[in-house]
Amino acid sequence: MTDTTWVVGVGYTGARLLEQLPGSVGVSRSGDGGKVIRLDLDAGGVPAADAPGAIVYTVPPPRDSDSDRRLESLLSMLQPKPKRFVYLSTTGVYGNRDGGRVDETTPVRPESERAQRRVAAETALQTWSEDGDVEIVILRVPGIYGPGRLGLDRIRERAPVIDDAEANPGNRIHVDDLVRACIAALDAAVPAGIYNLGDGDTRSSSWFTFEVARQAGLEPPPVVSLAEAEQTFSPMRLSFLCESRIVDVERMRTVLKPALAYADASDGIAASLAEASTN
């Protein structure tokens, strides 16, 4: 085992984490053998690299399974086991709470299949770690936004949003603040356990879309009632919009202590638009 950190999955979040984490190595099915080594978790096999000292796992579970066989495949090949394993889960594990507040002591109550898979993954990870003295940090992540993840195409297409008066609270985090949280979670001084993430700005997704449109100089989207949305929105979109909860992030602030840059989503939107304009 080395002191190297593996970033498993180098997609939207993982790629940015890899850039900010010195001494890290990416693990991806499209790895090039340099900074990113190749490992297809759907096909199995063993990566051509020494076992890491820590892992940040960002890969979503496959959609065609009740469990997370990708995670299980990785866990089966880790010998020796790492000292610390940071897993990016979802706040969706809490299910709908009708606008109520949830914290890390709130029992999980997943309602969607994707959230059920995350609970299965969390459980498998905890079971795997019991006899190996691995410190498990589970980061329950809300909606991620940032450059290229502002829904600009949907706004340009004039896709409607639910009237803000009827919209549910929003929970989100800028991708760079998520990266900061991942780096904080790797610190051996941070206690293992579960941490809810989020910027603490719980204004609705409708507000967010209007703010993006305003800052981008686009025409604001049309508004529909909740009843109209239930008749016209896709099941997937409705499943996100109709689960209502406020995610308490006090433990993140006081124990994990990432130095968040975008506690106000308006600032995060501005930074995202500015970065996108320079790329």
User: What integer pLDDT is reported at residue 67 of this predicted model?
Assistant: 84
Taking the chain (279 residues) in consecutive chunks of 10 residues, what is each chunk's mean pLDDT? 87 96 90 81 74 94 88 90 96 96 97 94 93 91 97 96 94 98 97 97 97 98 93 84 92 97 98 91
Domain architecture of the chain: domains with CATH: 5-145+172-201+245-266 (3.40.50.720)
- Claim: this prediction has a pTM higher than 0.85: yes
User: What integer pLDDT is reported at residue 2 of this predicted model?
Assistant: 66
* Cβ partners under 8 Å of residue 136, min gap 6: 84, 85, 87, 125, 126, 129, 192, 193
Q: Is 276 exposed, middle or buried (0-12, 13-18, 19+ CB in 10 A)?
A: middle
